[in-house]
């Protein structure tokens, strides 16, 4: 049996926190209803919980890397205050035209997370609110799940379908917890 663990990869905006057009300040961080409980349930069920997020606001000059670090410190604090914790948070700060390997739907962030956290991507799921998230899941070799919060899959960037769609992260977490990380697909 492999010692690699599967992950529940999560997009940040519209999945874990309220969608804000280019979130720029820590005080704008607002957990979505049930998000902390979802993270707690996933971790209790054996999943590694890892955020994978594009934050092109940095490249566009809307916020600095140090401000982004404060945003993520606030996110972690908001979760911690509700008894939840992330296993990892990986960010692409580049713009759409930068040609980096880390911007979703490319998969460098997932590969880095897998290497650093000893994850089995082939048994992992990616929970997102956009077709970009679903395309990222497909490109990385994991399963894409859609939540109807945030953009709710209406971004229309890619022609991809989720394995399943859920009202929110809490519903997706209940499904994953019932499924059990040890069962794979």
Long-range CB contact pairs, 93-102, < 8 A, 24+: 93/55, 93/56, 93/58, 93/59, 93/65, 93/68, 94/56, 94/58, 94/59, 95/56, 95/59, 95/60, 96/56, 98/59
Our answer to whether residue 87 is catalytic in this structure is no
Cα separation of the two ends of the chain: 16
Catalytic residue among 13, 87, 129, 133: 13
Neighbours of 49 (CB within 10 A): 24
**What is each CA distance from 127 to 81, 102, 152, 162, in whole angstroms?**
23, 17, 11, 9
Our answer to whether residue 13 is catalytic in this structure is yes
Residues marked as catalytic: 11, 13
């Amino acid at each position: 049996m492999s010692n690699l663990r599967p992950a529940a990869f999560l997009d940040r905006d519209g999945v874990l926190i309220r969608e804000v057009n280019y979130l720029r300040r820590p005080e704008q961080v607002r957990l979505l209803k049930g998000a902390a409980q979802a993270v707690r349930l996933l971790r209790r069920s054996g999943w590694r919980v890892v955020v994978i997020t594009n934050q092109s606001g940095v490249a566009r000059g809307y916020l600095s890397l140090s401000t982004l670090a404060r945003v993520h410190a606030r996110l972690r604090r908001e979760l911690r205050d509700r008894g939840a914790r992330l296993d990892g948070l990986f960010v692409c700060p580049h713009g759409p035209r930068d040609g980096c390997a880390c911007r979703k739907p490319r998969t460098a962030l997932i590969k880095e997370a897998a290497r650093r956290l000893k994850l089995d991507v082939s048994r992992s799921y990616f929970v997102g609110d956009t077709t970009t998230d679903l395309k990222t899941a497909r490109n990385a070799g994991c399963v894409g799940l859609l939540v109807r919060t945030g953009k709710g899959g209406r971004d229309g960037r890619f022609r991809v379908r989720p394995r399943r769609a859920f009202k929110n992260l809490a519903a997706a977490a209940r499904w994953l917890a019932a499924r059990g990380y040890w069962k794979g697909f």
